[in-house]
């Protein structure tokens, strides 16, 4: 039976392929066995089909979806320099159904490969999947967009952000848009602040080659948290089709400024020193192998933004993410304003209600003021919680299913990639100019003393 899609992984021998892509494909093929996918790998390494198949088989098994391997057991590997037009021509010639090219390679290689592709004829309908980071600033993102635009139409370009494939991120849509208790109050008049945080307990984990040049602001806030913010703040789209959805999220990013247009005051940065996270002792970031301490790379970053629209002006969106923190914790926390007046006679504090979404485990809590049990005239806090369910597919599985279906809703559109750099570029410039001190925090602590506590 011929395949509907040929998934050609460029950079197939790398870590991303075996650790994320192949397990995600395995999960997808297990849950959706009707899919007919032809899998091919290509890369610089001198592998043969047998070695590649073994890698695929092991990755499928590692995710507990070993039986799905049968569906791709005839997968093949080709040695190729993906920046060489002749090699690329050969690779493009061999496909069944729609071709999906997944660039599982460092950004510089992906860029060179895209430039090489410009000289070739690309089969109609071909989908390109590009990993983050997409450029290293607005100018380079724009250049890369211009190159990619010469290859295929925008709807066939997938700039990967696996946070958009997280079920919790998507669950925000249902809660926001399908409930009259939230839809009308989702605005500056009723919401005081929004926090989007992503704490990780992992340290550098041997990724100095990439991370030391990126840092937490580019690695997490530019790439992921601004996209999540765009979903929290978007105007209600008419449909969840790619065009409506991405028009709405891009409009948010276009309207976003750093707080007070003052990148130095709106941002914080810090780097971890030696410490213990749980049972694990971590060396200081600056002492990690491959790190150049003089780069002053931050491992914890915070940026406060404002979405300057009628709906949101005046509401701080505080985005924070870092590594070597006490526990993994991803959250969107929406804090509502206090009511204007609590009837005299009711005692106790009445802070604003808080709606909290945890990004894995997927959960939602609504914290409310209620009358106390012991004294009915005294207010106390109560929490209503709901498990949101994991979603059948993991984040990368969602992303991959979009690629195989050529449905770009869960990928970052070109203009959004440029906008998110436009937002963070002035912050990076202020940091380079030494306008924001690089603070320190011990691995395993919550961050430097003096950073605002998060709700």
User: Least distance from C-beta 88 to ligand BG6, angstroms?
Assistant: 27
Residue 87 or 200: the one with the smaller Cβ distance to ligand BG6 is 200
> Residue 301: which H helix or E strand, with range?
strand 300-307
CA dist 66 and 77 (Å) reads: 20
The single residue among 87, 200, 242, 306 that binds ligand BG6, judged by CB under 6 A, is: 200
Other Cβ atoms less than 10 A from the Cβ of 93: the count is 10
Residue 395 or 430: the one with the smaller Cβ distance to ligand BG6 is 395
Q: Is 219 in the site for ligand BG6 (CB under 6 A)?
A: yes
User: Least distance from C-beta 399 to ligand BG6, angstroms?
Assistant: 11
User: Pairing between strand 5-10 and 157-160?
Assistant: unpaired
Q: Catalytic residue, from 95, 162, 224, 241: name it.
A: 224
Locate 186 and state its tokens.
Answer: 């989702």
Query: From residue 358 to residue 397, what is the string marking binding to ligand BG6 with x (rule CB under 6 A)?
Result: -------------------------------------x--
Residue 330 or 352: the one with the smaller Cβ distance to ligand BG6 is 330
CA dist 132 and 215 (Å) reads: 13
Contacts of 340 (CB under 8 A, 6+ apart): none
User: Least distance from C-beta 173 to ligand BG6, angstroms?
Assistant: 19
Question: Which residue is closest to ligand BG6 by CB?
Answer: 219
Residue 98 or 323: the one with the smaller Cβ distance to ligand BG6 is 323
Other Cβ atoms less than 10 A from the Cβ of 281: the count is 11
Residue 165 or 275: the one with the smaller Cβ distance to ligand BG6 is 165
Of how many residues is the chain composed? Answer: 455
CA quadruple 237, 238, 239, 245: dihedral positive or negative? negative
224 tagged catalytic: yes
Distance of CA 162 to the CA centre of its chain: 5
Total chain residues near ligand BG6 (CB under 6 A): 4
Residues 121-180 touching ligand BG6, rule: CB under 6 A, are: 162
CA dist 429 and 189 (Å) reads: 33
User: Least distance from C-beta 14 to ligand BG6, angstroms?
Assistant: 14
Tell me 394's DSSP state.
-
| Active centre residues (catalytic) | 224
Query: Footprint of ligand BG6 on this chain (CB under 6 A)?
Result: 162, 200, 219, 395
């Amino acid at each position: 039976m011929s395949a509907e899609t040929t998934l050609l992984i460029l950079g197939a021998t790398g870590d991303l392929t075996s650790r994320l892509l192949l397990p995600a494909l395995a999960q997808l093929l297990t849950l959706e066995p009707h899919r007919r996918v032809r899998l091919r790998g290509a890369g610089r390494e001198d592998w043969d089909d047998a070695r590649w198949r073994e890698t695929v088989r092991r990755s499928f098994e590692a995710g507990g979806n070993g039986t799905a391997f049968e569906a791709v057991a005839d997968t093949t590997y080709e040695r190729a320099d993906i920046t060489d037009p002749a090699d690329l021509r050969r690779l493009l010639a061999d496909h069944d159904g729609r071709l999906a090219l997944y660039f599982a390679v460092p950004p510089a290689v992906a860029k060179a490969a895209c430039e090489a592709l410009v000289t070739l004829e690309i089969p109609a309908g071909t989908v390109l999947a590009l990993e983050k980071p997409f450029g290293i600033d607005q100018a380079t993102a724009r250049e890369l967009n211009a190159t990619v635009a010469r290859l295929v139409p925008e709807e066939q370009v997938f700039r990967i952000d696996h946070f958009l494939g997280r079920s919790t991120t998507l669950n925000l849509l249902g809660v926001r848009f399908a409930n009259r208790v939230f839809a009308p109050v989702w605005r500056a008049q009723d919401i005081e602040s929004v926090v989007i945080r992503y704490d990780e307990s992992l340290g550098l984990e041997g990724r100095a080659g990439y991370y030391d040049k990126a840092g937490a602001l580019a690695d997490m806030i530019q790439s992921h948290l601004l996209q999540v913010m765009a979903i929290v703040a978007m105007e209600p789209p008419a449909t969840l089709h790619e065009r409506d959805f991405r028009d709405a999220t891009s409009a948010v990013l276009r309207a976003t400024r750093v707080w007070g247009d003052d990148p130095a005051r709106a941002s914080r940065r810090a780097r971890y020193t030696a410490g213990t996270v749980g049972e694990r002792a971590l060396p200081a970031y600056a002492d990690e192998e491959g790190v150049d301490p003089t780069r002053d790379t931050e491992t914890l970053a915070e940026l406060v933004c404002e979405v300057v629209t009628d709906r949101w002006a005046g509401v701080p969106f505080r985005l924070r993410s870092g590594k070597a923190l006490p526990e993994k914790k991803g959250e969107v926390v929406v804090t509502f304003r206090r009511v204007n007046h609590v009837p005299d006679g009711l005692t106790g504090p009445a802070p604003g209600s808080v709606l909290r979404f945890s990004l894995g485990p997927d959960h939602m809590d609504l914290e409310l003021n209620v009358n106390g049990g012991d004294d009915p005239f005294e207010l106390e806090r109560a929490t209503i919680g709901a498990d949101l369910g994991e979603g059948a597919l993991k984040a990368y599985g969602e992303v991959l299913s979009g690629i195989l279906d050529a449905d770009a809703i869960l990928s970052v559109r070109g203009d959004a990639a440029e906008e998110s750099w436009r937002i963070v570029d002035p912050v990076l410039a202020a940091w380079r100019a030494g306008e924001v001190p690089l603070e320190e925090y011990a691995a395993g602590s919550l961050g430097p003393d003096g950073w605002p506590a998060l709700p």
